[in-house]
Each structure stands twice: as C-alpha cells, then as structure tokens.
Structure 1
Amino acid sequence: MADPGFPGRHTTTTTVTQTAVAPQIRFDKSYIRTPSGILKCACMFLNLVGFICIQCSGNHSYHSRGSYFSSISMTGFWFTGTLLAFYLFHICEKFYQIPWLKIEMWFCAIWTILYAFAAGFAAAYGIEAYSAAAFFGFSAMCLYGYDAFLKYKAVRNGEIAQGSRVVSKQTTSAQA
C-alpha cells in the first residue's frame, strides 16, 4: 500500500551557478560608456563643481555648512573616482568575491541622505555660491539615489559587479 502522505508525482529542481571572470588587470575605457560608468562620471563632476562653488564663496567657505558640504562632496568625489578606476582596470572583476555591488549600494544610499542634508544646509544659508552648490548637491543626491536603486536591483538579481554569472535551472518530474 502506498504512503498516503507522499504524493504520487514530484518535481526536482537543480540550480547551477557559473561565474565567468577574467582575472587579469587590464584597462578598458568602454566602461565609461555604460550606464554605471556615466553615472559615476556625472557624480564626480557634480561633487567637484559643488566643492568649487563652496570654496569660491570667500570667507564663507569656512562656515560649518560649507565645511560639511565640502567634506561630503570631496569624500564622494574620491570614493566614486576610486571605484571608477577599479572598474576601468577590472579590479572588481579580479576580486569578484568582494561584494562590490553591496558596497556601492550602501555608499550611494548613505551619500543620498548626506547630500540631502548638505544641500539643504547650503540652500538655507542664502549666499549665491552656496545656492549654486546646493543645486549641484541636490543633483548629486538624485544621481546617487538612482545609482543606489540600480545597485539594489542588481544585488537582488544576484549579479556581480563585473564579469558574468549564469544561473541555469533544470527541472525534472517523476511519477511513482
């Protein structure tokens, strides 16, 4: 007599994940033309221009609002620039075990919040140079937020920063 608790038909699914990366470090300028590369270049530009606006405000650049904005913009500039160099030279692909996308996602999310405060403080100060910096700060905030969203989707889909990851599923059905 058959076991009444076990179904007569069952399905087995096997998942195989293959990661294909090239471990050599090489320069590849085509990354700059990808959406992620364009976002990084645009963020670097906005960080730098916002920083210059604050520094051109004369004696007001030493105000706590200006110092905070300058710190946020320069940290964003150097971190984003370092990541851009890592992608251009395929360092992220060489060290694909490091969760680059999660690091970028969290950085971009945090910088979105920090830029919201920095640009808000700069806009409230009422000096023309600070108002211009606030514009570039709010623009950078939007780009960092969009980049965080893209990285979140990539992390959720199980992608890696560079290289390719192929997930194949094989389903078999059996009848008892």
Structure 2
Amino acid sequence: MADPGFPGRHTTTTQVTQTSVSPQFRFDKSYIHTIPGMIKIACIVFNLLGFISIQVSAFSHHSRGSYFSSIAMTGFWFTVLMLAAYLFHVCEKFYKIPWLKIEMYFCALWTVLYLFAACFAATFASGAYKVGALFGFIAMCLYGYDAFLKYNAVRRGEIAQGVRIVEQRQQQTTVTIA
C-alpha cells in the first residue's frame, strides 16, 4: 500500500531565462520614437523651460527659485545622460546594471521633488514663477508616468535594452510504488 503522505504525481517547474544583447556601442535614433524616448525628450524640454522661466524672473535669487532651478537642472542633466545612454546603447552593453530600477527610483523621487518645487513656485507672487510652476507640474506628471512604466517593466523582469526571454517548463513525474 502506498504511503498516503506521499503524492502519486509530482510536478516540477523550471524557469529558463535567455538574454540577448549586443556588446557594441552604436547610435540608434529609433529610441526617440518609443514612448519612453518621447517622455525623456518632453522631460528635457519642460525641465529647461521651467528653469528658464525662473531664471528670467527678477526674483531668481529667492530660495524658492533656487530650489526649483536645482530640481530642474538636475532632472535635465540626468535625463539627457539617460537619453544618450539609450541612443548609444550603453544600457544594452552594460545590461547587468539595473538601469530600469535606477530610472524608476529617480523618476519617483523627481515626481515628489517637482511637486514641492512647483507648489513653492506657484505660491510666489511672480508671473514668471507661475509659468515655471506650470512647466514643473507638467514635468512632475511626465516623471510620474515614466516611473509607473519603469515599475511595470521591473515587475515583468525586463531589461532596459536588449531582449530577455523567460520560458517556464513543467515536467510531471509519476511515482508508482510496488
């Protein structure tokens, strides 16, 4: 008689991951036509417009303006560097670096920082600050959406560039005890 605590069938699931990347740097402008590429370009534009709006104000030296300008310029330079990394396939060459997580955390942090910066600018009695706040709120929404896209990509196990194929294989084993 078979042991009632031992199942007659046993299923084993194995997961096979295959990553395909190109180890060479190359310029590929097709990234600009993707949604993340368009978001990066829009973030660059709105960071720059918000920075210029604050800097042309007579009150650009005020602490609110300095804070907004710091957030805008840091966001601008980080986004420019990441856009260049994608355009030249740096992310694909160094695919072991968690690029999506780095971008996700940065975009989430910049969403919060832009919320504060744009609110501070909107409550200041200057027309240029209000225009800067508008650009800041738009940049905040763009960074938030980008963080959401990156979060979903990280959950799916994707890599920043290249292809990762994940296969699930199941094997059933039947045990008979004589």
User: TM-score band, normalised by the shorter chain?
Assistant: over 0.9
User: Could you tell me how far apart the structure 2 residues matched to 1:6 and 1:43 are?
Assistant: 59
SS at match of 2:173: strand
Identity, % of aligned positions? 69
> What is the aligned partner in structure 2 of residue 130 from structure 1?
129
Q: Number of residue pairs matched?
A: 175
SS of equivalent to 2:109: helix
Listed one character per residue, the Cα deviations across residues 140-175 of structure 1 (whole Å, up to 9, x for unaligned) are 000000000000000011000000100011112222
Q: Hey, what does 1:161 align to over in structure 2?
A: 160
Mapped to 2, the partners of 1:31 and 1:160 lie a distance apart of 15
Which deviates the most, 24-33 or 6-15? 6-15
1:80 partnered with 2:86: no
- Aligned equivalents of 1:62, 1:74: Cα separation in 2: 15
1:47 corresponds to which residue? Answer: 47
Which residue in 1 is equivalent to 2:170? 171
Query: Does residue 12 of structure 2 align to residue 6 of structure 1?
Result: no
Q: Which has the higher helix share?
A: 1
The residue identity in structure 2 corresponding to 1:45 is: V
The correspondence of residues 5-154 of structure 1 with structure 2, limited to 5 A, is 5-58=5-58, 60-154=59-153
CA-to-aligned-CA distance 1:92-146 (integer Å, 9 cap, x gap): 0000000000000000000000000000000000210000000000000000000
Q: Which runs of 5+ in 1 are unaligned?
A: none
Q: For residue 55 of structure 1, what is the amino acid of its counterpart?
A: Q
Q: In structure 1, give the amino acid aligned to 2:25.
A: I
1:10 offset after TM fit, Å?
1.5
Following superposition, the deviation at residue 33 of structure 1 comes to: 0.4
CA distance, structure 1, for counterparts of residue 12 and residue 62 of structure 2: 65
Within 2, Cα distance between the matches of 1:74 and 1:126? 23
CA RMSD of aligned residues (A): 0.7
Measured after TM superposition, the shift of residue 14 of structure 1 is 1.4
> Residue 31 of structure 1 aligns to which amino acid in structure 2?
Y
Which TM-score applies when normalising by structure 2? 0.97
TM-score by length of 1: 0.98
Gaps of 5+ in 2: none
Structure 1 outlier segments of 4+, above 6 Å: none
